[in-house]
Amino acid sequence: MATTPAHDSMANAIRFLAVDAVEKAKSGHAGLPMGTADIATVLFRDILKFDAADPRWPDRDRFVLSAGHGSMLLYALAYLTGLGGDKGLTIDDLKAFRQVGSKTPGHPEYGHTVGVETTTGPLGQGIATSVGMALAERMLAAHFPGIVDHRTYVLASDGDLMEGVSQEAIAIAGHYRLSKLIVFWDNNGISIDGKTTVLADNVDQVERFKSAGWNASAIDGHDVAAILNAIRAAQNSDRPTMIACKTIIGFGLPTKAGTSKAHSDAPGEAEIAGARKNLNWPYEPFVIPDDILAAWREVGRRGAPQRAAWRKALEALDPKERAEFERRVRGELPKDLDAVIDAYKQKLADEAPEVATRKAGQAALDVIAPAVPELVTGSADLTPSNNTKVAATREITPDDFTGRYIHWGVREHGMAAACNGIAVHGGFIPSGASFLVFTDYARPSLRLAALMKIRVVHVFTHDSIGLGEDGPTHQPIEQIASLRAMPNMYLWRPADSVETVECWQAALEKAHSPSILALSRQNLPALRRTHVVENLCARGAYEISPADGEPQVSIFASGSEVSLAVAAQKLLREKQVAARVISVPCMDAFFDQPEDYRRSVIGSAAVKVGVEAAVRFGWDAIIGDGPFIGMRGFGESGPYKAVFQFFGFTPEAVADAALKRLAA
């Protein structure tokens, strides 16, 4: 262990802000900030490229605290460096740690607190998200040479590395040789239940990372020179780097340091008094001596000349290129997109193609991708099935990041987390793809995208039993309902080509929400044969086929079942029953509509029927206790038409259900 008094006092400022905030809140995790304060001090004081005056400077280095439970580390650093100036954290914000409405919530929340680059807390997410940030940096640098050149630093805990998603992330970073990604592993050997090596983990992490194509080394995480040297070596590496830092959790606590008792909870007055003695920190809680605060504030100003030089480089760009860079960083869509989509919708209405919506999705991307250069698509090894690759999205390779198609390998979770990282990095709209049933494999990252209010537009195809022969393992049943249940996640299930491009457009326009496009494997007839300029799908639900006269029946359906509903409408007409059909491509968007619109779409027909090749859950909000033609259990392997027949998805069954209820 080698430190200096100046270093120690700066690191101790972090330690005591953290432990005093946890003690005051009687809740939180001081063990990690106390154990990693030396690493953080070296990184921020000597290495990290940032300027406290502009926390959102696009070319700043990113610092991700993957072990989000140590949030007080981030909050202490933000306060000490003066990050964000007047809009940053005050000492009162630190005193309000973990209180309702405070800027200092239990775990770091993106968009809520200055300096938080991504929401962390669910272990593994931070490190996986940071891989997307590092990828985005390489890609944006390839698209805008000369003005993008920064690193991504991550602090990951034992738990982060035990979570499975970390393996997907490490493999992706190794494959793409993301040499500007540098991970510190807080190797304290302690998790909640006790000593990691005794309880549940004996992985040789250095070898694990090396085998994935990383550079990895092990150091004493309290040795300033060792930390500095390791970072400098990492900066010169041609591979991503993991630095295993042996640390003592709760460093300084007299009885709890180095044990799982230091992980969380208020340590108690006696323990903290002991730490004050041990670390020679005689100051009252939340008091940072002027000279120490001044030293930290100086760190916050260190990057100002670098940022000024960067601004000059930006201003030296061709004005058009500069405007394009700034538009992309702001997250604004290109102005001509609407006109491009309108012309395409006109063409589709004329041609009325009968295709699967996954094919329609590819055709839509063929139009959208050239018009939206920030759109990055990809697939978790299902490119030929998801149909997400088009001419405009050439694939990236470890040697060439000018493309914008990403082969994620069979890694739905890693893909979804990295897409979040690409989105929070800025400059891109990421889009991953797989089968809809495998959203279950990506769910923790999908949830974080929704929580972070970021725009990620995933394409999940093979959206029902209509995928046929692959059978129940691949047939989504409850996924649609469960994704609808996720706040701020928009699940789009278009019925034909026009709806598919409308859903893509609506999803792109949702700058603060992630979306999932659920697309069919099987062919579907063209339903929208009259051109309408308005994006009808954006309203979530609309009458796609009106009744002849006063409607007695309203049939609500989504995706592949809308054409089924239209066929049922025809059968009812033959029986002199007037029925209307309402397409519901996005229940989430529909429930956002004003009440009068919702009422007019739901209507007042005596019978409301729902049809969707999935569970009923959620439909009651539209059809009340009306009959629902859906799934009650898992699917069946067979040709899709036979499977639909087997489960009763026929026009006759839908019409019968309506007639029965009408008679009742």
Ligand X SMILES: Cc1ncc(C[n+]2csc(CCOP(=O)(O)OP(=O)(O)O)c2C)c(N)n1
Secondary structure, 3-state, 6-72: HHHHHHHHHHHHHHHHHHHHCCCCCHHHHHHHHHHHHHHHHHCCCCCCCCCCCCCCEEEECCHHHHH
Tell me the window of 187-195, 228-236, 274-282, 471-479 that interacts with Mg ion (CB under 5 A).
187-195
Q: Which amino acid is at 411?
A: R
**By the rule CB under 6 A, 249 interacts with ligand X:** yes
Tell me the window of 46-54, 189-197, 279-287, 615-623 that interacts with Mg ion (CB under 5 A).
189-197
C-alpha radius of gyration, the chain, whole number = 27
**By the rule CB under 6 A, 267 interacts with ligand X:** no
Closer CB to Mg ion, 245 or 566, in the complex: 245
Q: How far is the CB of 331 from ligand X (least distance, A)?
A: 29
Tell me the window of 140-148, 156-164, 474-482, 533-541 that interacts with Mg ion (CB under 5 A).
156-164
Q: Which does 32 bind (CB under 5 to 8 A by kind): ligand X, Mg ion, none?
A: ligand X
Task: Work out the number of other CB atoms within 10 angstroms of the CB of residue 216.
Answer: 23
Q: How far is the CB of 609 from ligand X (least distance, A)?
A: 41
Q: Applying CB under 6 A, which of residues 72, 123, 536, 605 lies at the interface with ligand X? A: 123
**By the rule CB under 6 A, 28 interacts with ligand X:** no
Active site residue 543: no
Element (H, E) at 430: strand 429-430
**By the rule CB under 6 A, 168 interacts with ligand X:** no
Tell me the window of 80-88, 115-123, 267-275, 562-570 that interacts with ligand X (CB under 6 A).
115-123
Give just the sign of the alpha carbon dihedral 615, 617, 622, 628.
positive
Q: How far is the CB of 192 from ligand X (least distance, A)?
A: 5
Q: How far is the CB of 230 from ligand X (least distance, A)?
A: 19
174-193 residues in contact with ligand X (CB under 6 A) are 186, 188, 190-192
Output b/e per residue, 278-307; b: 16+ Cβ within 10 A: ebebeeeeeebeeebbebbeebbebbeeeb
Task: Work out the number of other CB atoms within 10 angstroms of the CB of residue 398.
Answer: 13
**By the rule CB under 5 A, 188 interacts with Mg ion:** yes
Closer CB to ligand X, 187 or 569, in the complex: 187
Q: From CA 357, how far away is CA 520, in angstroms rounded?
A: 5
Q: Applying CB under 6 A, which of residues 33, 106, 122, 514 lies at the interface with ligand X? A: 122
Q: Which amino acid is at 166?
A: S
Give just the sign of the alpha carbon dihedral 116, 444, 584, 376.
positive
| Residue of 271, 412, 561, 612 with catalytic role | 412
Return the closest-CA partner of residue 603 out of 541, 530, 657, 517: 541
Return the closest-CA partner of residue 102 out of 64, 58, 71, 63: 71
**By the rule CB under 6 A, 158 interacts with ligand X:** yes
Residue whose CB is nearest to Mg ion in the complex, by number: 158
What residues pair up with 241 in beta bridges, in sequence order?
182, 215
**Order of strands across the sheet with 405-407?**
405-407, 375-379, 429-430
Q: From CA 10, how far away is CA 291, in angstroms rounded?
A: 10
590-649 residues in contact with ligand X (CB under 6 A) are none
Where on the chain is the footprint of ligand X (CB under 6 A)?
A: 31-32, 67, 69, 121-123, 157-159, 163, 186, 188, 190-192, 249, 263
Q: Which residues bind Mg ion (CB under 5 A)?
A: 157-158, 188, 190
Q: Which residues are catalytically annotated?
A: 412
